[in-house]
Amino acid sequence: MLDFTFATPSELCKEIAKRIKAQRMRLELSQPELAQRAGVALGTVSGFEKTGKATLETLFRLVVALDLTKELEPLFLQKPTSIKELEQASKPVRQRVSRKRMP
């Protein structure tokens, strides 16, 4: 299994495609069946599994079709590492970044 810490973006894409394909195979779905479930073309599924290249929407369609949405929940969560960070996390989140004032 690939260590994501030191992987290049290209390697990450190929690893995700490999894992998507493995899940498809575990569910005993053919590429045409997955394409139909995900609402994408067969060539899209085939190409993604070979190259790891797809749009973000296509990736999410495949994830939903393979019932992997729970796997996305922890994907970019901020994990507090101190009491101060925990307190900050409980405060309301700002919706915008303040403008820098000109001197």
Residue 76 confidence class, pLDDT cut points 50, 70, 90: confident
pTM of whole model > 0.85? Answer: no
Domain that holds residue 39: 4-73
Domain annotation covers residue 84:
no
**Is the pLDDT score of 92 beyond 90?**
no
Residue 97 confidence class, pLDDT cut points 50, 70, 90: confident
Domain annotation covers residue 92:
no
Q: What is the pLDDT of residues 32-43, one digit of tens each?
A: 999 999 999 999
**Is the pLDDT score of 82 beyond 90?**
no
Domain annotation covers residue 85:
no
Domain annotation covers residue 28:
yes
Domain annotation covers residue 96:
no
Tally of structural domains, the chain: 1
How far is 30 from 21, CA to CA, in rounded Å? 10
Domain annotation covers residue 45:
yes
